[in-house]
Amino acid sequence: MEHVVRKGNLFERLPQSPEAEEFVDLVKAGGVRIERIVSMGHASPPGFWYDQEAAEWVVLLSGSAGLRFFGREDVLPLSPGDWVEIPAHCKHRVEWTGGDEPAVWLAVHYPG
């Protein structure tokens, strides 16, 4: 049986238009999903909160961003290399992403 080896680069083919965020699944297997997210000046819509079935571990690879968690007034600022573990059903939103350069995220979703 031949094994399939895939290779990629997280910074290749970044969207040129900042009109919409880009979500790309890189791996989906065994209840785990790894995705690349590219944001540029984006934020969650007013009043919207993510409430996910799965837990999420996310790292900001480039750019800047701010996350807000339900019930808290403060915003958690993120710089390249910062990561956050978000338990399942922990309501959160993207308060802002920088508009000067793409915010490239790597998100790992797993059963929580």
69-91 pLDDT, tens per residue?
A: 999 999 999 999 999 999 999 99
- Cα–Cα dist 101/58, whole Å: 18
Q: What is the pLDDT of residues 22-80, one digit of tens each?
A: 999 999 999 999 999 999 999 999 999 999 999 999 999 999 999 999 999 999 999 99
Instruction: Please give the single-letter amino acid code of residue 67.
Output: L
Q: Under CATH, which number does the domain 22-110 receive?
A: 2.60.120.10
* Predicted TM-score (pTM) of this structure: 0.91
Question: What is the band of 1 on the pLDDT scale with cuts at 50, 70, 90?
Answer: confident
Mean pLDDT of the chain: 94
Q: What DSSP line would sit under 64-87, residue for residue?
A: -EEEEETT--SEEEE-TT-EEEE-
User: Would you kindly state where each structural domain of the chain is located, as residue ranges?
Assistant: 22-110
More confident residue, 94 or 1: 94
Closest CA to 50 of 31, 67, 33: 67
Name, in order, each residue with C-beta under 8 angstroms of 24's C-beta and a sequence gap of 6 or more.
35, 36, 37
